[in-house]
């Protein structure tokens, strides 16, 4: 393997091209876990197998009716943030762990 950081990405591509098709899913899984471990864990999580309650069914139907009455349009993200006294910039800054 080459030590030059400028060539490492190219070298990785070359190695991937040599991987037999039956091993690609393992490599893809590893890369996905390295890039976004949370998404990978969610994808591998077991399905929610708890039975839906009658109350939950009613609430879901109410939410669908609410959307139907508004032509399928929900509440804009900016409006929700505004209700909390936040801006889109505040949201992005908080998402990246930055303080003022």
**Chain segment 12-56, per-residue pLDDT in tens:** 889 999 999 999 989 988 887 788 878 878 888 898 889 999 999
pLDDT at 56: 96
Range(s) of the domain holding residue 92:
74-100
How many other C-beta atoms are found inside a 10 Å radius of the C-beta of residue 80? Answer: 12
Residue 99 in this model has a pLDDT that exceeds 70 = no
Q: Is residue 12 part of a domain?
A: yes
Q: How many domains does the chain have?
A: 2
72 vs 96: which has the higher pLDDT: 72
How many other C-beta atoms are found inside a 10 Å radius of the C-beta of residue 43? Answer: 11
Q: Is residue 65 part of a domain?
A: no
Helices (H), the chain: 5-18, 24-35, 37-44, 54-69, 77-83, 88-95
Q: Is residue 40 part of a domain?
A: no
pLDDT at 1: 45
- For residues 31 and 13, give the distance between their C-alpha atoms in angstroms, rounded to a whole number: 12
Q: Is residue 80 part of a domain?
A: yes
pTM of the model as a whole: 0.42
Residue 41 tokens, joined: 């864990």
């Amino acid at each position: 393997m080459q030590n030059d950081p400028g060539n490492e990405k190219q070298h990785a591509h070359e190695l991937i091209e040599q991987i037999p098709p039956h091993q690609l899913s393992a490599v893809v899984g590893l890369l996905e876990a390295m890039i976004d471990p949370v998404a990978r864990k969610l994808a591998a999580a077991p399905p929610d197998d708890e039975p839906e309650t009658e109350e939950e069914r009613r609430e879901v139907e109410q939410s669908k009716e609410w959307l139907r009455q508004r032509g399928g349009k929900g509440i804009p993200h900016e409006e929700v943030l505004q209700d909390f006294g936040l801006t889109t910039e505040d949201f992005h800054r908080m998402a990246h762990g930055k303080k003022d």
